[in-house]
Amino acid sequence: MWSVERYGTAVQDEAISGIIRYGRNAMDIIMNLLLMLGGVAVFMFGMKQMSSGLERSAGSRIRNLFKKMDKNRIVNYGIGIGATALVQSSSATSVMTVGLAHANIVTVRQGSGFILGAKVGTTVTAFLFALSGIGKGSFDISYVFASLAFVGVLIIFSTDNEKLNNIAPFLIGFGMLFVGMEVMETAIGGADSRLSIELTKLFRYDVMHNPILLVILGILFTAIIQSSTAATGVFIALLATGVIQNIDQTFFLVMGANIGTCIDGIMASLTTNANGKRIALFHLVTSIIGAVSFSVILVLFREPIVSFFESLFPGKPQFSLATYNLAYNTIYTLVLLALIDPLVNLVTRLVKDKQEKLEELSYIDERFLRTPAVAIEQALKEMQDMALLAKENLDRAFSSLLAADTSTRKKIDEAEYRIDFLTSKLTSFFIKISSVTKLPEDEKLVGGLHHVTNDIERLGDYAVLLAKEAKYMKNKEVMFVDETREELSRIYSLISEMFDLGYDAFKNRSTENLRTIANIQKEVKKLIKSTKDENIVRLSSGMYPVEVSKSIYSVLFSLQRVADHIVNIAFSIRSTTGRKSEAFQAIEKEMQKKEKALPLGR
């Protein structure tokens, strides 16, 4: 009985001791993890401080390098390497390039060559980081580098010399990089430390050998800390301490980091013009191309590639990683440098300038002039799109008028700019068609299309007039009464119906609805007259001020002219100038010819 009780007590004591040991181990891991995060923070801050210090001390040299950028892609590539080597931040140089492209100081092609070079220039620091794992005996070069932070602090507090004070932030940042590296390595400990063992287990999971997952982790980590150089430094620390034991895992992480660093350029380009956005997109696209292509190569030839880089620096995997980072960035950027023209054309097509969009031709092209009939068909398609654009602009302007809202004015002005641009291009195109066509019917049709183009352009002009009235009423702080709003809406509803029928008639060259269009026009005229009469009564009764009355007359005049131009467009299929009487006469003659032809057909 006594032995059983004693055995139970021993088991209980052993269980308690196990729990205490587990708690201590867990606490050690948590404390070391917190210390490691502190090291990462010091390291990242040092990276930022060093970059900003380099920008201050080497700013004039960087500007001189930018001034030397020219049409030669190799020169721009070299400048990218040099400038990024000076500031040791591809993010900083990519943001600068985005800004220069936005200001039209450099072209997209020049900036693209620079961006490719920047990818190589930022790899130099990885070799310095690799030194932190060397010489753990009586002499450690990383300790010497870390002491430079103290030198920088001494300069700041002991002298007012401008040159020395410009260098001091760099020295502080550079020293803090190695302080951070040492803190990270101390926190992780040797291969037998608890934190190292737990982190190593994490990277031993099968899923952590998946290339796609590793690349994504590299992207996310770098996007968070916003520095591929800093991310590479962390990967080197994990490799040097034995947390990551398979060097190929860090290869994929580094390739992901090259994509993640594009986030700075993308963020900087959000408020730039198309050229700035094109540079940012070029940076992203080329980084993805490089990562995808090398990931495929590394998956297919993993053993020989890993063996090659490990054999370069036996027992020093951090140097193998730094060398791979340099080789990877150099090889793929040189290949893409040879393909820079198609890549620049790609990003130019993908990111269109607002002005370019407004001045884009969808159908007409001088190459069609060799076949006048085809050229006319293309012009008709361009006109149909132009007519729909004019109607959309009228809808937008009329809605803003009723609500006295000017928020859509910018869109209205942009659409009007495009309508004017298309009018100019179509007019020029018609002149060229007239000079090459030999068929009288084509010449007559082209003459009619000249008039229709002008009618569509006038629809756009009246949209702008309606928008101006909306602005006038907002400035005067007046609005239409409900009755007037309903009357105007009824008139515009009939005009919209006219447009739909007229557009169909013009597009399909159909006379079926011409009579209906003419009748709707008469109804519009009646409603406009009655609205004018009601306006006089309301003005006399004091329902609204003179400012509103003025706007009503202006709006009614615009709506009347819009209806007239729609009639011209519809009736142009049978009259060069769009006159109703001429069109109906032509239709009458066509019907008579058909009636005369019937007996012959039988």
- Rounded Cα–Cα distance for residues 14 and 399 (Å): 82
| Mean pLDDT, residues 400-423 taken together | 89
Same domain, 344 and 245: yes
Report the SS3 class of residue 1.
coil
Mean pLDDT across the chain:
80
Give the pLDDT band of residue 601 (cuts 50, 70, 90): very low
598 pLDDT above the threshold of 60: no
Percent of the chain exceeding pLDDT 70 equals 79
Query: What are the tokens at 485?
Result: 């709003």
Give a yes or no: residue 402 inside a domain: yes
Q: Does residue 368 sit in the same domain as residue 269?
A: no
Distance in angstroms (rounded) separating the CA atoms of residues 236 and 231: 9
Last residue in a domain, options 417, 452, 476: 476
Residues 343 and 396 in one domain: no
Tens of pLDDT, residues 516-567: 999 999 999 999 999 888 888 887 887 777 778 888 889 999 999 999 999 9
Q: Is residue 46 part of a domain?
A: no
DSSP 526-592: HHHHHHHHHHHHHHHTTSS-HHHHHHHHHHHHHHHHHHHHHHHHHHTTT-TT--HHHHHHHHHHHHH
Residue 524, domain member (yes or no): yes
Q: Are residues 215 and 357 in the same domain?
A: no
The pLDDT assigned to 573 comes to: 83
Write down which residue in 435, 453, 476 finishes a domain.
476
Tokens of residue 525, six digits: 């005229």
Number of structural domains found in the chain: 3
- Overall average pLDDT of the 59-77 stretch: 66
Range of the domain at 238: 59-134+189-350
In 3D space, the residue among 476, 477, 496, 466 whose CA is nearest the CA of residue 400 turns out to be 466
- Mean of the pLDDT values across residues 349-362? 78
pLDDT at 134 (0 to 100)? 47
Per-residue pLDDT reduced to its tens digit, 204-230: 666 678 889 999 988 888 887 667 777
The domain spanning residue 424 has which CATH number? 1.20.58.220
Using alpha carbons, select from 121, 123, 132 the residue that is nearest to residue 316: 132
Note whether 318 and 360 are same-domain residues.
no
Higher pLDDT, 449 or 50: 449
Same domain, 288 and 217: yes
Task: Check: CB of residue 203 under 8 Å from CB of residue 239.
Answer: no
Residue 109 pLDDT greater than 60, yes or no: yes
Q: Are residues 364 and 345 in the same domain?
A: no
SS3 of 495, please? helix
Question: Is 304 inside any structural domain?
Answer: yes
What does the pLDDT read at residue 137? 45
The last residue of a domain, from among 476, 507, 531: 476
148 within some domain: no
Q: How far apart are CA 470 and CA 351, in angstroms?
A: 33
Highest mean pLDDT range out of 304-308, 475-479, 481-485, 584-588? 304-308
Enter the pTM of the model.
Answer: 0.60
Residue 396 pLDDT: 93
Average pLDDT over residues 350-374: 82
* 53 within some domain: no
Residue 28 has pLDDT above 90, yes or no: no
Regarding whether 454 and 487 lie in a shared domain, the answer is: no
338, 358: one domain: no
Nearest Cα to Cα of residue 246 among 217, 219, 206, 296 = 206
395 and 385 both lie in a single domain: yes
pLDDT tens, position by position, 418-438: 999 999 999 999 888 888 887
Q: Are residue 420 and residue 440 in the same domain, yes or no?
A: yes
Residue 280 lies in a domain: yes
**pLDDT above 90 as % of the chain:** 27
Residue 601 lies in a domain: no
Shared domain for 123 and 250, answered yes or no, is yes
Q: What pLDDT score does 595 carry? A: 62
For residue 135, CA distances in Å to 132, 139, 245 come to 8, 6, 20
**Number of neighbours of residue 44 by Cβ within 10 angstroms:** 20
